[in-house]
Amino acid sequence: MRILVVEDFEVLARSIGTGLRREGMAVDVVLDGTAALERLAVTRYDVVLLDRDLPGVHGDEICRQLVQSRCETRVLMLTASDTVEDRVDGLGLGADDYLPKPFAFAEMVARIRALARRTGPPLPPILTCGDITLDPARRTASRAGRRLDLSPKEFALLECLLSAPGLVISAEDLLERVWDEAADPFSSAVKHTVHRLRSKLGEPPAIETVREGGYRIGSS
């Protein structure tokens, strides 16, 4: 999943970004509201982790614009205040969830995953296709009962494919959903990661390459 972290305290922003990447998410980080709107104009995010009190464009205005655009991006609003009034205000602006600082990292991850499941058709908590099983919450994957030792990118790529079994997902879409702004759009990162993932999944082959289309897991 693709996440945008909007937080003006740079140490916290970078720390959140690092932690979420370890959870297998593609993360972009910006430090003010103006930069956030620029990113949102060109990239589709599953969840925006949005600090409310931002320099440039205030977090409230970013939230309003996202709601008015009717996009599927979910908003998890952060604030240093934990008053009922602030929570009501934030949710009243259209935020999907609200998390006061300081917060537990594990709780933030759980809330992000819960919101991401609402950006498209409902997904089961455990993804399966044939004898392949993936549990996003526990970060485990297996095939025919055999535990798979996957890198964060391999895990995220498999999760993306299992979220749409039978459908062809282009390399460009995989690059956008699994990698982040640091990825070279002309690189062969997707191809190489698919190759390693296929090797770890073993036989029979589970991921199909569709010529001039992309990749698919499971029959259509």
User: What pLDDT, in 10s, does the model give residues 43-60?
Assistant: 889 999 999 889 999 998
Residue 20 — pLDDT band, cuts 50, 70, 90?
A: very high
Tokens of 9: 């305290």
- The CATH architecture annotation of domain 2-116 reads 3-Layer(aba) Sandwich (3.40)
Q: Which option is the CATH number for 127-217: 3.40.50.2300, 3.30.70.100, 1.10.10.10, 3.40.50.620?
A: 1.10.10.10
Question: Which is more confidently placed, 15 or 78?
Answer: 15
Torsion of CA 194, 199, 202, 203, to 10 degrees: 80
Residue 37's closest CA among 50, 18, 23, 22?
A: 50
pLDDT value of position 173: 86
pLDDT greater than 90 at residue 116? no
Structural domain spans, the chain: 2-116, 127-217
| 46: its two tokens | 């599953």
Q: How high is the mean pLDDT of the chain? A: 87
Q: Which residue has the tokens 């982040």?
A: 180
